[in-house]
Chains A and B, each alone.
Chain A
Amino acid sequence: GAVVSQHPSRVICKSGTSVKIECRSLDFQATTMFWYRQFPKQSLMLMATSNEGSKATYEQGVEKDKFLINHASLTLSTLTVTSAHPEDSSFYICSARHGQQGWTEAFFGQGTRLTVV
């Protein structure tokens, strides 16, 4: 399958600081990338859909000013958690699809485990 690389895999930061997470599609162009968050023993919750060259579409209840998403190229999307607080501690995962196909499976990055202390 296609490869999606997410970095860093684990990060610990102090409350009030910002953290940037990168998601790269290594062997295909991803017009659309998705950002998910998963709390322990819960399902993946979609945070936002990121389209290359345009503003991200955020799900209801997700603060766009707190979770900044940039999709500057067909192979890279970034999620920045601004002014992080302990309640933002979670597992963040990105996924990407090939091109414009809406019915194909998505490939996932390895995830980033964020701990805010």
Chain B
Amino acid sequence: RKEVEQDPGPFNVPEGATVAFNCTYSNSASQSFFWYRQDCRKEPKLLMSVYSSGNEDGRFTAQLNRASQYISLLIRDSKLSDSATYLCVVNDYKLSFGAGTTVTVRA
């Protein structure tokens, strides 16, 4: 089983829609998680950390479900600029990346 698995998508949504996707991780002892965003042929950039109680940053909401070992990202009111690949990252000192979920927001 891979350390971090994501639904690759792509998720193709209209502007203004809500899109959500999950990421599962294999190490039940993992404590720290992030969502990064990667645009085509660019380096990843931190989108947000994921806290145990769930957290929100503007239109983005991250949730952690330890029992089922997954984290989720929800994007509300999608913008064209949200089109990117979203990388789930498990931080067990070294960062383990999922393969990414591609989101395309269309006008």
Give the bracket for the number of chain B residues in contact with chain A: 20 to 34
Q: Is B95 interfacial (CB 8 A cutoff)?
A: yes
Q: A43-B87, A44-B87, A103-B32 are in contact. Are A109 and B43 (CB under 8 A)?
A: yes
Q: When the two chains form their complex, are residues B32 and A111 in contact, meaning their CB atoms are under 8 A apart? A: no
A residues near B, CB below 8 A? 1, 6, 34, 36, 42-46, 49, 91, 93, 95, 102-103, 105-111, 113
Q: Which one of A43, A49, A110 lies within 8 Å of B99 (CB-CB)?
A: A43
Q: Enumerate B1-40 residues with CB–CB distance to A below 8 Å.
A: 4, 31-32, 34
Closest A-chain residue to B91, C-beta based?
A: A103
In the complex, what residues of A have CB within 8 A of residue B80's CB?
none
Known: A1-B46, A43-B100, A110-B42. 7 other contacts (CB 8 A): A43-B87, A44-B44, A93-B44, A103-B32, A105-B46, A107-B46, A108-B44
Inter-chain CA distance A33–B34, complex, in Å, is 18
Q: Which one of B34, B43, B93 lies within 8 Å of A110 (CB-CB)?
A: B43
Chain A nearest CB: distance from B46 CB in Å? 5
Q: When the two chains form their complex, are residues A108 and B94 in contact, meaning their CB atoms are under 8 A apart? A: no
In the complex, what residues of A have CB within 8 A of residue B97's CB?
36, 43-45
Q: Enumerate B80-105 residues with CB–CB distance to A below 8 Å.
A: 87, 91, 93-100
Closest B-chain residue to A36, C-beta based?
A: B97
Flag B41-56 by CB within 8 Å of A: 1 or 0 each. Answer: 1111110010000000
Q: When the two chains form their complex, are residues A46 and B31 in contact, meaning their CB atoms are under 8 A apart? A: no
Q: A46-B94, A49-B94 are in contact. Are A105 and B43 (CB under 8 A)?
A: no
